Amino acid sequence: MNGVHRPFWRKHLLWPMAALLGLNLAVGAAYTVRRGLQQRGITSRAEALRKEAEALRRSVQELQRRADVARDNGAAEKRFFAEVVGTRQSALVPTLTEIEKLAAEPGLKAGGRSFTPDPVKGLPLMRLQVAVTLTGGYKHLVEFLSRVERSKHFVTVDKVLMREASKEGDDAAASEGSLAVQLSAWFKAEEGEGGG
């Protein structure tokens, strides 16, 4: 014999210990890799959930904003029907009287008038179209439109057609013209009227 004596463990346990060490390393690596992948998966899921929560928060805010707008519109509609427009029975005569008064202001000559009732489809409103032809100085015609805008009745100016017939000279105050105005007076529709 060569005189070298190997200890028992080296002779019989070296390979099993090496295999056990390798197995231990493989299990440790598998656990660490799996744990790292799980951690990465958890992190990416948490980020996705954060993004989804933010999108839902924005969606809830938008729905709250829409609900606020709908509530404000509902309150404005109630106020409009309670305070701005009256029924045709109660407000027609005062409104037409005011339009006639405005058309008869000094400096204007009123021509023909026509009235056309028109129910508003889908709303409890009645629109009375009033067509008026006026003749007078430019200044008076502008004042008429300004007074219509300041009317306490709900009257809108739908269409204006102006024809100027200048007098001698270029003085704008002296120029005369005719004004065809189409107005709309608005009333609450009474039962059986309106489209709503």
Annotated domain spans of the chain: 8-84, 88-188
Q: Residues near 2 by Cβ (< 8 Å), separated by ≥ 6? A: none
> Confidence band (pLDDT; 50, 70, 90) for 43?
confident
| Confidence check: pLDDT of 6 > 80 | no
Q: What is the pLDDT of residue 82?
A: 81
| pTM of the predicted protein model | 0.54
Arch. (CATH architecture) of 88-188: 2-Layer Sandwich (3.30)
The residues with which 134 forms a beta bridge, in sequence order, are 110, 179
| Confidence check: pLDDT of 114 > 90 | no
**Dihedral sign (CA 186, 190, 192, 196):** positive
**CA dist., res. 142 & res. 42, Å (int):** 73
* Cβ 187 vs Cβ 92: under 8 Å: yes
